[in-house]
Amino acid sequence: MSPSGWTVGCFLLLTSFCWSQYRPDSDEVIQRTYTASKIIEHKAPEIDGHLDDPAWELASWDGNFVEWQPAENTPPGQPTDFKMIYDDKFLYVAIRCFDSVPRKIERRLARRDSFEGDRVTVMIDSYHDKRTAFAFTTTAAGVKGEEFMSDNGRNWDESWNPIWYTDAKVNDAGYTVEMKIPFSQLKFGKAKEQVWGLQVFRTLFRENERSVWQRIPRDVAGFTSEFGLLRGLEDIAPQKQLEIQPFAVSQYESYPEEEGNPFRDGSDYPFNVGLDAKIGITNDLTLDLTVNPDFGQVDADPGAIALDGFQIFFQERRPFFVENKNIFDFEFANGNDNLFYSRRIGRSPQGFVNSAAGEFVDAPNNTTILGAAKFSGKTKDGWSVGLLESVTANMYARVIDAGGEERKEIVEPLTNYLVGRVQKDFNNRNTYIGGMFTATNRNLSEELSFLHESAYTGGIDFRHNWKDRQYYVEGNMVLSQVQGSPEAIENTQRSITHLFQRTDAGHVSVDPERTSLSGTGGKLEAGKAGGGNWRYQGGFIWRSPGLELNDVGFLRQADEIIQFAEVNRLFLKPTDWYRQIRVGVEQFTTYDFEGNYNRIQYELNGNISWANNWWTEIGGAHKPRIFSNNILRGGPRYRYNEENYGFLFFGSDQSKKFNFTMGYVHSDATQDNFKFRRYVLRFGYQPFSAFNLSWFTFMNYNPNKTQYVTTSDFNGDARYIMGEIDQRTLSTALRFNYSINPNLSIQFYGEPFISRGQYTNFNRVVNPVADDLYERVSLFSDSQIAKNDSGSYLVDENLDGQTDYSFSDPDFAFVQFRSNLVVRWEYIPGSELFFVWSQGVTGFGDPMGSLGSNLDRQILGQKPDNTFLIKATYRFIL
């Protein structure tokens, strides 16, 4: 590591440690307890939002909430009371939200899990592990939502959809809420008396104020760990969950007909049936099953294009994989690197068809998931376990030749995926240690021998907190091994993730005889997460050259070592002009495993929440050293000019019916090596209670004098061809939601995406590590390069009148439009009907045209693909 990297990192950590010793005086926090009362002779309350049932007289009211945000530990603007009763199968909660100006209560209709308007949330840590909790929210309009909280409140998973019952009513004193929560939807162990963590949370929407029953000081390191206690739940038998949810999907697809192509005759009528099931093995461990799943109502992925050659990470949206996702996460480094990336299961087929002239091909877009099972949960003793098994089918492309004969060619093999995860809490829940294992096994035919036959990964992780969780140290280590044919392993060595063929690399090289590849990675980090006004962290990350996770995980780049440090100063006490401020300093350096010092960056950033609920984020960075091992796609290490960038984002009060966000990113490199400009506009509008509209648009302008184009051969020597690109990208996403009632909604999502790149001033690399841009590359003269009639560039480098090498015109214009219109009706709790209309256009436009003209011709002027489907589900609770 360079002296500058060590010096800056150590200075920041040492300075922040000294500053962190100051902590302002704070009042002692006393853990509160609420004792629920059991219903014995009374009839259980009817869940209608009115608190007039006699059973409510069994319990006493509790309140005395304190403000949490913005002015922590002060009286809230409006008081709140609650009480709890229970029977053998349900927990009942009554909440009175007083409001001195009831006409200002914000009642916004929305679909489930849309947390809009005034609302209350009951959070229950039934594991009592001080890390996880179940959150049940009801708005003043009666809309319900629920989330599963993990990692001490750092992660909130709103995909969790239990069956429970709630209602709310507004009256002259404010509004009241009733909840009925089945014990079968909570997880807990056997005990004479259950002792759970409890928090009750109210949002006063118009003031952007949050108050809590159990005080949580703003400077503490955790959230769930600070809950109060719920007691009095005696002789509750754990409820084993058993739910079966069959579904049927009827679909109609229309698209532009292609003359002579039997696979594109203008329409298709697929039909699909499947089954989801949830079986409680014990009260705290659940088996989820899916057979032939369908994800037709899921949003389409946003448009994206990457000129750097790396794969693009997309969020998981499929319900089966999203639920309990926190248990299977193993983020071992930074960014999106993870041992498990569920988008690999059901991916687009990796094979291809070598079709001849006059042949037509019908290739599947995705791989069929034959079935999947997921066993997951957490025990009272602190064991968190997850086991996922999935099998995907052999996938074939259909080919019809010019004579009408049909054949099938395999494009994806039968594949088995296995993922196992375990963690154990101990030391009064202040420490955990865990492990993970994944296995991918394919039944390969000769046609698919370029794929790995098997891939295995394993990892261990830990975290230790001390001094009221203010300080922590955490780390992990992962190992991987892939096996396959020499072709498959050579492809892996040469992939952009690894680039073993790099011409100047002394520590790696391609071995065409290898049939396996292994590697390691990991992270070690320590810091201060709470207490006082200072936070800091620092550590190291590594990924060895042979680390490979991309069969069922996600890894962008191997062969990297990162040192990082960060210090933040918080201003938590509100004043007349702000609610909260954060100011931070960051620094990191990167190296490869040969010891090359590739990058260093210094950044100053901060954000402010203003007193009027507007907000600002601002920052800037200096990158004096930027080297890339991958920009030349296996060529030598390449240097970029030093860069400076800054950003500014600000937005209005998000609680208003109209709110907006505006942003700007500005980056420049010396000698105009490259630039980056990003303009962002986002707004939301809710003209009336049942309707909300959001708009998000961005435009990127990204010129670069040395954008990689291709590698050519000149008399046995490699020529790395680059060009000056003018790249512009425009994307606009429109969403609206109209809620007829909390269980019936209409949603729309639409996004056009256009990216255009024009290349000029082609050049070749002559000294890839030179400081000066014009010593690094040599510009082709007009006498050396010419474009022929077929669109290729011919290069006569030595000016002898003969073409030495050529390359295709790299200009591009990619256009895409995706939209979904969904009517969702939860006709009984847990059972749904979906009516979906999806449209899509994908193609290539005119690189010489403007973004506007490509939008007009390639999206608005084209006939789109249309899909209409009806999906019905019914949840049987046995």
743: in domain = no
pLDDT average, residue stretch 760-770: 96
Question: What is the structure's pLDDT at 24?
Answer: 36
457: in domain = no
Question: What is the structure's pLDDT at 762?
Answer: 97
pLDDT exceeds 60 at position 14: no
Q: Find the domain containing 75 and state its range.
A: 31-234
Assign 851 a pLDDT band (cuts: 50, 70, 90): low
Assign 757 a pLDDT band (cuts: 50, 70, 90): very high
Q: Kindly list the distances between the CA atom of residue 195 and the CA atoms of 33, 55, 134, 208, 380, in Å, as whole numbers in the listed order.
A: 10, 22, 15, 32, 11
Question: What is the structure's pLDDT at 854?
Answer: 64
pLDDT exceeds 80 at position 674: yes
pLDDT average, residue stretch 193-203: 95
What is the DSSP secondary-structure string of 345-388? TTPPP-----PPTT-EEE--SS--EEEEEEEEEE-TTSEEEEEE
560: in domain = no
Question: What is the structure's pLDDT at 302?
Answer: 65
CA atoms within 13 A on the CB side of 792: 9
Phi, psi of 706 (to 5 degrees): -130, 60
Tell me the pLDDT tens digit for each residue of 556-592: 999 999 999 999 999 998 999 999 999 999 999 999 9
212: in domain = yes
Instruction: Work out how many domains the chain is built from and give that number.
Output: 1
195: in domain = yes
Closest CA to 573 of 19, 17, 25, 15: 25
pLDDT exceeds 50 at position 6: no
> What is the C-alpha to C-alpha distance for residues 628 and 454, in angstroms, rounded to an integer?
31
> What is the C-alpha to C-alpha distance for residues 585 and 608, in angstroms, rounded to an integer?
15
Here the tokens at position 828 are 């009984």
Q: Specify the residue for token string 């939502």.
A: 145
Assign 179 a pLDDT band (cuts: 50, 70, 90): very high
Look at 347-351, 369-373, 375-379 and tell me which has the smallest mean pLDDT.
Answer: 375-379
pLDDT average, residue stretch 388-409: 91
58: in domain = yes
Question: What is the structure's pLDDT at 296?
Answer: 56
Assign 861 a pLDDT band (cuts: 50, 70, 90): low
780: in domain = no
- Three-state SS annotation for 258-276: CCCCCCCCCEECCEEEEEE
Question: What is the structure's pLDDT at 808?
Answer: 94
Q: What is the mean pLDDT of the chain?
A: 89
64: in domain = yes
What is the DSSP secondary-structure string of 56-98? GGGS--B---EEEESSTTS--SS-EEEEEEE-SSEEEEEEEEE
Q: Specify the residue for token string 């065409």.
A: 512
Assign 260 a pLDDT band (cuts: 50, 70, 90): confident
Tell me the pLDDT tens digit for each residue of 64-118: 999 999 988 999 999 999 999 999 999 999 999 999 999 999 998 888 888 889 9
Higher pLDDT, residue 372 or 295: 372
Question: What is the structure's pLDDT at 404?
Answer: 84
Please state the pTM of the whole predicted model.
0.86
> Which CATH number goes with the domain that contains 106?
2.60.40.1190
pLDDT exceeds 80 at position 453: yes
Query: Would you mind telling me the total number of residues written for the chain in this entry?
Result: 878
